[in-house]
Structure formats: structure tokens, C-alpha cells
Amino acid sequence: MAWFLPLGLCVAIAVALLWPGPGLWLNELDLLPALVALIFLINGLQTRTASLRVEPRFGRTFAVAFLINLLLSPLLGWLIVRHAGLDDSLGLGLLVMALVPPTLSSCIVLTGVAGGKTLWALLLTLGLNFLGILTVPLLLGALVGSSIELSPWPLLFKLLQIVLLPFVLGLLLRPLCGALAAARWLGLVPTLCVIASVWVTLSASQQSLLQLSLPALVYLGLLVLLLHVALLALSALSAPLLKLDPAERSALLLTASQKTLPVAVSVLVGLGSSTGVAVISCILFHFLQLLLDSFLAPRLRAA
């Protein structure tokens, strides 16, 4: 079952590219927030309250995740864009993706597949998303010379609505649903939610991806993977220095290296670039990171 996610993602990507119609229809129903909320509801159901305690290594791990995901990532993205000879719009999209915090749902699901500490992944994701409200505008101005105002309130409300409230509800329901919380099949539901999210989102993005020629798309994909692998490598090198056990290492790797597509698109909208090809870089980054990490997660579990 460890390979259910990568195989499911491959099928979802193929169906979305070859037959986008059903995914487009589901996208119009705006189901993605409900899928994210379901992931965190189940995560709360499966979390033992005894595990909700402050652990000594978490503070150091969070500081390193912040350094990698929100400070070093923009610098690496800027270096890649500067030397890669990309079209200006594609370069802007890649740089914006390097600036934003980790994605909300897949970090937790991938950490679970890897046998990692999903609670750490949850806390890292929430904390980095809050801090990203501050770092994205500042670093965008420093690296691009453009300014944008990101209001913290919409993101805060979104995090409360589809992350914290479902998670707390799951914790409260756990004593009443002991048998359900222990059911093995329940662990597959978050994975199915991620696969469905990829299918729906990519179906809606298919026309954007077709704007580029195949060689240009492949070259952009290689640059995207270069940045993502660099973030994975920095996280992997940091784990021994932090003296993390394998479960903690997986949480760091699969959170600090991930990037969120919705926030990146919001930034491009603020810059007036959402209708251009800049969004293609964000879309490609989002799906390639999920695909690569879905194959990496089972190997981390076996390590």
C-alpha cells in the first residue's frame, strides 16, 4: 500500500492531461477545500492526545525548516532563474514558487506514507504558512524589485477553517469513534484526497501547460526538479546535525522542500501576472514535487 500514492498520482496526471473534462466539472464545484478539511479531520481522528506534547528537538527543527523553506529557497530560486536563460514570465513564476511556504495537505499525507511524525508535519506547515505572510512580500521586493501586499486575514481564516477546526474536531471525536479511528482503510482516505486534488487541479490547468512546446516544458521541469532536490538535500543534510530520528527526519524533508500552489498564484495575481505563462512554472513545480516525493516517501519508510 506504500506505493498506492505514487501510482495513483501517475494515473491522475495521465487522466487529467488526456481527458480533462470530468476534472474540470469537479473543479467548478470547488471541492478542493473540502478535500483538505477531510484530510485534517482524519488526521485528528488518528492522533493520540498523549502525543500532543512539546518535544525538545522540534524548536530547532522548525528554525531549520524556516531557514530552508522561506530563506534559502528564494535565494536558490533566484540563482537558478538568473543563470538558466528562462523566459522572463517563466522565471518569475519559478521564483515566486521558491518564495512561498509549504502546501497544506500533501506534506501531512506524504509524511504519513513515509512513517514520519505527521503532527510535526502539521505544525511545521502551519507555522511556515503564517511566517510566509511576512517573508514573501519582503523577499519579493528584494529579489524582483516588485512590491505586493499580502493580507494575513484571508490565509488565517483559511487555515482555521480547513486545517485547525477539522483537526480539533477529529481529536474530539476520537474517543467516540475508537473502532473507526483504528480502521486500516481510513488511512487511505487522505491519500485518495491528494490524488483527487491533483486530478482536479491538473485538469483545470491542462490548457496552461499546452502553451509551451515540449522541449521548453522539459527544460522547465528539469529546473523545477533541481530546486526541489536542492531543498530535499539541504533538509537531509540538516537531519543528522539536529540528531533527528527517522520519523522526525521524514517530517522535515517532506515539509521544508514542498511549496504551495494557491499562495503562489495569489502572488502572481497581485503582480498582475496570473494570465501570462508565469503560472505554468508554479503548476509544473506543484505536480513534479508531489510526484517525486510520492516515490521518495515509501523509500523513507523502508530506510
Q: Among residues 9, 5, 26, 22, which one has the least CA distance to residue 286?
A: 9
- Cα distances (Å, whole numbers) of residue 280 to 166, 235, 272: 31, 26, 15
Count how many domains the chain has: 1
Domain that holds residue 15: 4-302
Distance of CA 210 to the CA centre of its chain: 23
Q: Look up residue 195 and give its three cell numbers.
A: 490524488
CATH label of the domain that carries residue 154: 1.20.1530.20
Q: Are 80 and 228 in contact, with CB atoms under 8 Å apart? A: no
> What average pLDDT does the segment 166-185 reach?
86
Q: What does pTM read for this prediction?
A: 0.90
- Cα distances (Å, whole numbers) of residue 251 to 5, 49, 148, 173: 17, 19, 31, 25
pLDDT (tens digit per residue) in 107-136: 999 999 999 999 999 999 999 998 998 898
Residue 163 has pLDDT above 80, yes or no: yes
User: In this predicted structure, which of 50-54, 76-80, 217-221, 253-257 has the lowest mean pLDDT?
Assistant: 50-54
pLDDT band at 191 (very low <50, low <70, confident <90, very high): very high
Distance of CA 198 to the CA centre of its chain: 11
What pLDDT shows up at residue 146? Answer: 63
Q: Among residues 68, 113, 124, 99, which one has the least CA distance to residue 255?
A: 124
Q: How many CB atoms lie within 10 A of CB 300?
A: 22
Residues 99, 48: Cα–Cα separation, whole Å:
34
What pLDDT shows up at residue 148? Answer: 63
pLDDT (tens digit per residue) in 243-274: 999 999 999 999 999 999 988 888 887 777 54
Of 276 and 3, more confident: 3
Q: Among residues 2, 96, 34, which one has the least CA distance to residue 293?
A: 2
pLDDT (tens digit per residue) in 279-288: 899 999 999 9
What pLDDT shows up at residue 149? Answer: 65
Residue 275 has pLDDT above 60, yes or no: no
> What average pLDDT does the segment 67-71 reach?
98
User: In this predicted structure, which of 26-35, 56-65, 70-79, 137-146 has the lowest mean pLDDT?
Assistant: 137-146
Residue 152 has pLDDT above 70, yes or no: no
pLDDT band at 55 (very low <50, low <70, confident <90, very high): confident
